[in-house]
Amino acid sequence: MKTILYATDYSENSAAALKYAQALGTQLDTRLVVTHIFDYPTVLGTEVLSEPFPNLEKDNFKMHRSKLEEFCTEHLGDEWDTPNIQLEVGENKSVIKGIILVAEEWQAEMIIVGMWGGSGLRELIMGSTTKQLIEKAPCPVLAIPADMSRMPINTIVYATDFEEEDIHAIQKLVEIAKPLDARIDIVHISTKEEYKGDMQMKWFKEALEERIKYKNIKFKMLFSEDIFESLRIYLGDVGADLMVMLEREKKGFLKKWFHQDLVKKMESYGRVPLMSFNEHNHQTLYY
């Protein structure tokens, strides 16, 4: 991994994600790009044009660059001013499009955002903007809880459906886990009625072991009528430092789970960063 992109809205709630991104970038010895996306103000509902205000674009970029520097200094001290950390201010009507353009420009292999933001409609909030980012980003998205207090990634939990797409995602996940010497718990949670059978699990394990040469992987099968609650308990039992899911177009965990009640449950738990791969982009990562 060469580049991590962190996107901020300057909110206090996103500060934990900045500290996390800086620490992770240091551990992985990667470049960290810190970005903020803004758009121009409007006058009576009409966009301010550059002709009557020739310095508007330059002044806006200069202002947001200064704010970004202040934000980094406030939360990272002087540690941020190194060759491995780059600041990138972008202008776009869409936060999502703006972040994606920066990610593509820098060929980022991961995007880190705060799980909750603090700027109204433009906040990076799980279930809305972050979910859209997960669906459209060219790389995995890592959402960090606002009260995140620990950084070392020792235990990663990956929720699997025993499908081919999972294997591709886990291959990429190993690229992150290996330099951290982190254990990956591959967990399948199912009701008795929906369980696909021992043969499917055996096939998945053999396929994974054939393609991935990483010994620090273990498998866990759980049966429950409440998938979310069982996962929440498991995360606590193993002291998970990172939760990973694969967003699928038709039947992914995120499509099934990210409705209002379950978002509130995740927020109330609020201790484990959530990394989301998308089945459409896991083969286009810049590894």
Each domain of the chain, given as residue ranges in start order, spans: 3-144, 155-278
pLDDT (0 to 100) of residue 39: 80
Residues 161 and 245: their CA atoms lie apart, in Å, by 10
Residue 38 exposed, middle or buried by CB count within 10 Å (0-12, 13-18, 19+): buried
Are 205 and 166 in contact, with CB atoms under 8 Å apart? Answer: no
Q: Domain 3-144: which topology?
A: Rossmann fold (3.40.50)
32 — phi, psi (to 5°)? -115, 120
Query: How far does CA 234 lie from the centroid of its chain?
Result: 21
Are 273 and 150 in contact, with CB atoms under 8 Å apart? Answer: no
DSSP letter at 49 equals P
E strands within 25-164?
31-38, 42-43, 46-47, 85-91, 110-114, 141-144, 155-159
Question: Which residues of the chain are modeled with pLDDT < 70?
Answer: 40-57, 116-129, 149-150, 194-197, 248-270, 280-287
Check if 3-144 and 155-278 are the same fold.
Answer: yes
pTM (predicted TM-score): 0.83
pLDDT (0 to 100) of residue 181: 94
Q: Tell me the pLDDT tens digit for each residue of 106-137.
A: 999 999 998 764 444 344 444 466 777 877 88
- CATH number assigned to the domain covering 155-278: 3.40.50.620
Among 119, 141, 115, residue whose Cα is nearest residue 37:
119
pLDDT (0 to 100) of residue 41: 55
pLDDT (0 to 100) of residue 270: 58
pLDDT (0 to 100) of residue 50: 47
pLDDT (0 to 100) of residue 123: 46
